[in-house]
Structure 1
Amino acid sequence: MKTNLVFNPFEKFSETSLAVAGASFILFSVLLFWFSGQSNDGIYHVTYQSGIQLVQAIIEALSYTFLPFLLLIFAGKMVNPKTRLVDILNATIVHRIPMTIGILLMQLPFLKKVTDAIIKAAQTNTLQQLSIATLWISTITSLVMLALLVYSIVLLINGFKTASHAKKPWHYILFALAIICSELIYRLGIYPFLSERFT
């Protein structure tokens, strides 16, 4: 079914195809973040950082890719000892694709203009002076970004399910714990270190 192709490509494509697609987008995201001056201050959160160095963008990409991978492979092995590393890795890198597309969309000139206007208004306490058009565009953009984030999580869940044959509620509790822990480790440990090291 086409819905399975969209929401669970791990059952339809070969592991090589998934790995190439995921790795290509990870590489593209590094260049995109470096070019656009954006940084991942969380596994699933992006912030502006003017003058971000290419090395930092690379280390961030490796961190927000392999940290969830390591915790998810641990969870996957607890669910099913036969869980393969390559399947969890593919799920981890492929699920970043929608978020990378979202960041690319944010580089559209009219969206950048809206974002800059909102940031400036927030800094000068003049949010009430923003135009209705700016607010509507901002709202729609936020909803699109939220949809892409949800889609990413769905891809990761389905990838984990396919890789480990997760079925029971406690399997998904392990999945959730792995993601929450990876977010906390990255946000509270890795990102502060990188931010201090490269600024």
Structure 2
Amino acid sequence: MKQLYNPFELYSERQLLIFGLVMTLIGSFLGYSFNGRFDGIIDFHLLESVTFFEVVLDNFFNTVLLTTLLFMTGKLINSKTRFVDVLNASLIARIPFYILPFFNFNNVMYDVSNRTYDIMVAGSFNAISTPDIILLMLFSFVAIFTLIWFSVLLWNGFKVATNAKGIKNIILFIFTILVVEIVSKYIITTFN
């Protein structure tokens, strides 16, 4: 069970780095295959089509920004914080998001989202079909679960990398994540 929420205490930095990089490539391929973009560190959006380059660039920006800003925060907490440990935390923590593209097999989730949006704009909430509601609810629950899992993994990795303790460090961590989300959204929409 500890492997799922705190692998940072179980595996070497090299193992974590290799696994994180491989999973990032697999996640990028899944995003491309199922038309999903990771256009922010805690964002996943479905489109009619995407290019592999777009998805790889999304993951690149997300990883670089998350690692860089968390590393700077880590240095404030502990001057001995190592870049590779924060990079590993960033790579591993993003893995849960790579589950989400599977929901868009044959663009099903994209179509459901568009239908639901059109119905809501028209104000006919009772016209949403039961299968669409079930799929939207299932996707929502999984998305919330992946966000929680991401947060737990990232905090555990950051805590191991920086030896962070106490409420002050938790607040610094949360503030950094919010800043990274805003910056990543801006950079990804501007350059990609």
TM beyond 0.5: yes
Q: Are positions 1:193 and 2:187 aligned together?
A: no
One-letter amino acid matched to 1:68? L
User: What SS class does the counterpart of residue 165 from structure 2 fall into?
Assistant: coil
Percent identity between matched residues is 28
Equivalent residue for 1:96, pick from 94, 97, 104:
94
Q: Could you tell me whether the CA contact under 8 Å between 1:25 and 1:97 is conserved in 2?
A: yes
Q: Which residue of 1 aligns with 2:180?
A: 182
Counterpart amino acid of residue 120 in structure 1? R
Q: Which residue identity does 2:18 align to in structure 1? A: V
1:108: how far off? 4.3
Paired position in structure 2 for 1:161: 159
What does the per-residue CA deviation read over 1:41-99, in whole Å, with 9 as the maximum and x for residues that have no partner?
32211222334233222221110011010000011111111111111110000001111
Which of these residues, 72, 79, 82, is aligned with residue 80 of structure 2? 82
> Letter of the aligned partner of 1:161 in structure 2?
K
- Residue 127 of structure 1, CA deviation: 4.2
Q: How has the CA–CA distance of structure 1 residues 128 and 194 changed in structure 2, closer, same or farther, with 3 Å as cutoff?
A: farther
Aligned to 1:72: 70
Partners in 2 of 1:186 and 1:142 — Cα distance? 22
Question: What is the alpha-carbon distance in structure 2 between the residues aligned to residue 113 and residue 88 of structure 1?
Answer: 36
Q: Which of 15, 23, 26 is 1:25 aligned to?
A: 23
In the aligned structure 2, how far is the partner of 1:180 from the partner of 1:31?
A: 27
Residue 132 of structure 1 and its aligned partner are, at CA, apart by: 2.5
Q: Deviations over 1:99-123 (max 9, x none)?
A: 112323x1346xx535523422422
Change (3 A) 1:141 1:5: same
Range with bigger deviation, 72-81 or 44-53: 44-53
Three-state SS of the structure 2 residue aligned to 1:181 is: helix
Secondary structure of the structure 2 residue equivalent to 1:140: helix
Letter paired with 1:146: I
- For 1:74, the aligned partner's letter is M
Equivalent residue number for residue 11 of structure 1 = 9
Unaligned runs of 5+ in 2: none
Corresponding residue of 2:41:
43
Which structure 1 residue ranges, 4+ long, deviate > 4 Å from structure 2?
Answer: none
State whether structure 2 residue 114 is matched by structure 1 residue 119: yes
Encode CA deviations 1:138-185: one digit per residue, 9 max, x unaligned. Answer: 212211221111011100000000110101211112111211111111
